[in-house]
Structures are given as C-alpha cells and as structure tokens.
Amino acid sequence: MCDDEPMNFVYLSPHFPPNYHRFCVRLREEGVNVLGLADAPYESLRSELRGALSEYYRVADMNSYDALVRALGHFTHRHGKLDGIDSHSEHWLETEARLRTDFNMAGLRHDRIGIVQRKSAMKEIYRSAGVRVARGAVVRTLEEARRLVAETGYPLVAKPDVGVGAAATFKIRDDGELSSFFDRKPPVDYIVEEFIQGKIFSFDGLTDRDGNLVFFTSHAFSQGIMETVNEDGDLFYHSLREIPADLEEAGRRTVRAFDVRGRFFHLEFFRVDGDGGIVALEVNLRPPGGLTTDMFNYANDIDIYREWARVVAHNRFTTAWSRPYHVGYVGRKRGKRYVHGPEEILAAFGGLIVHHEEIDSIFRAAIGDYGYLVRSKDLDEVRAAARYIQETA
C-alpha cells in the first residue's frame, strides 16, 4: 500500500451487533476504504453504515467459505490488495484468520488460531506467562474423567474445548452427574476442570500493532455467564476505577504471552474465595460482548470506536483516559415479574442511566432482553440502581 493510497479494510457482518456499525463509521472517517461483507440486504443497513461503506457485497450464506473467498476476490479486483479484515466477533474468528492467511493480510493468521480457540491450548500459554490455571484436561472417556476426579474431587465444570461463551457448559457435582454427562455429551472434545469458587473479573483492552497496551480496564461480574445461562439469571457487571495490582499484572503477562497485536482482548480470571489468588479462566481476542464497548466510552469519556480505527489506520491511540466513572450493565429478561417498571426506573435513577436498549434475542440467555447502563463515580450508587432494576416480585 502506497502512502497516498487508502487502506482497504473488509468488515464482516458490519450490521451486527447493532452498536458495532460505529467501527465502520470511524474507519471511514480515518480515510480507510471500508468494504462490507454480509448476508443482510443492503437496504436493511442503517443509513450511517451505508454511508461508511465504499462497497457492500452480499452473500447468500456467510458460512460458505468459497462464497467469502469469491467476495474478497471481487474486492481485490475492484480496489487492489486488501490490508485488513475483522468483525470483532468470536463467531467469525477462525474464518477471518483463514481469509487473512489466504489473502496475505496482516494480523492473526490460521497457524495461530488454535491457541486462542482451544481452551486446552490457552492453559499452556497461561502457564508460560506464570499465571495460575484450574486443574483439568480434555477427557474423552468416563474412565479418563474418573482419573481426573481422583486428583481434583467434585464439583467439576465441563465445557467444549472450542466454544463461545457458556454454550453447552455443565457443572458436575457427583459420580451420577458425571455418568449422565458422558451419556449425553455432544460429539466434540470437552475440557473438564475443577470448579473454582470465586468472583469473576475481566481484563479488557486494546493493543496497537506493535503489541503495546494502549487502553485497558477491568470489570467485576455478579456471577459467571455459565450460571446466568443455566439458571436463567439476570446479569450485572460493572467496571472498576482502580484495577488490583495482581489482576493487572496477570492481564499484562497474558497479553504479552498471547502476542496480541492491533486487537481488542477480553481476558477472564477468578479471584479465588479461599486464598484470594488469581486463576485464569479464558482468553478472547475480541472486544467483550454486548454493550461493553459503550461502557468503555461512558466510563472514560472517550470514543473507543474512533481510537480502534486510528490504531488500524495510523497505529496511534490519541485520547487520554483515566477511568473517572464506574459503569454497570444491568440486564433484565422477559417473563420475569420485576417490581419496578421502566418508567419507575427512569424516575428513580434517570440521572445515572446513560443508555438503555432492547438486546437482540441471540444474546438473551447471557445478558438479557433489555439492558441498562448505569454510571457514577460512586460504586454504591451503581449497585443500588442495579438492585432496584433487577428486583423481582
């Protein structure tokens, strides 16, 4: 790419989730040639997104790799060499890596995708970074699982070695549940680990193309996504203004060990109830889901969409940030009887609620059907609003 030629950047599914259209808008504002690729009709895209795209290519099936290759071939013919591709979605992570490899684009390639998709491979990288991990292994038979139980005891957690979020994840409390799990186990590799009792914290942020941390923050979760999904609970999580030193150190070590370059990351850790130590849960090389990128903005008075675009286009993060606010996400689910209706919530806490919207049903199990973002310098105020919003009859 010559200095006077615009960068060509392909964005997969730029319309979903809805708040991610801002990534394309900000890229265009930084002078990037943004090429959209999805299965949605062009007319269904919001006007700001259509205005940001130099070209849009619609495929009948986003899961057809041949169709995506043809689309990128078309873009190459029309615009020249492609410089980057992303969707910021876990779902397309492997597809993007294959396309980067096949079209010789910078970034995470197919030869490294296994270490960020297989939980068993993540464990080895965490260990190399000196970060503690839960005892466990990929087990394929009941006999292998029983040998693990002899080492760890119950309860256990079984989850797909390659999987998104808490889908098809099980808590196993005794021999009977272990046998039942193997009777109904899906035909994929499962990793089985000791159950860690503790609070979940994330370490989230963005690196530049040289791997330098240019933005980072942390969130504390009311419960794990597995529990939220399996128990149909309401999720509450909030940002921290001050990040504990050991959590930040574990996060920094992990980012270095995974060699994260020019990407968002979402790392999850346990704060163990017993000894207070940090134990790694998993790594995701994408932004945290839902409205968390908007939480970045409200907590810091920044525009993370613009700053990501500047990293992509110029390898610069230009805005100062200092975490002046706590921001909490408060989810509610249809079918539950809540004490307070939407009007009451806004009357009671309207001064703290910076945003609220309906959530796409695909995310319902994890984060709810409706979400509120609550902001305050005082964490107690955020927690009080969350209790009020989620109080059930």
Q: How far is C-alpha 22 from the geometric centre of its chain's CA atoms?
A: 17
User: pLDDT value at position 225?
Assistant: 63
User: pLDDT value at position 230?
Assistant: 64
What is the chain's mean pLDDT, rounded? 94
User: pLDDT value at position 355?
Assistant: 98
* 70 pLDDT higher than 60: yes
User: pLDDT value at position 316?
Assistant: 97
Contact call for residues 58 and 36 (beta carbons, < 8 A): no
Structural fold of domain 198-390: D-amino Acid Aminotransferase; Chain A, domain 1 (3.30.470)
User: pLDDT value at position 5?
Assistant: 82
Q: How confident is the model at residue 222 (pLDDT cuts 50, 70, 90)?
A: confident
pLDDT in tens, 160-215: 998 755 558 889 999 999 999 999 988 899 999 999 999 999 999 999 999 999 99
Q: How confident is the model at residue 229 (pLDDT cuts 50, 70, 90)?
A: low
pTM (two decimals): 0.92
User: pLDDT value at position 4?
Assistant: 66
* 367 pLDDT higher than 80: yes
* 227 pLDDT higher than 70: no
CATH class given for the domain over 8-114: alpha beta
Structural fold of domain 135-194: Dna Ligase; domain 1 (3.30.1490)
pLDDT in tens, 242-263: 999 999 999 999 999 999 999 9
Domain spans in the chain, listed from the N-terminal domain onward: 8-114, 135-194, 198-390
pLDDT in tens, 286-314: 999 999 999 999 999 999 999 999 999 99
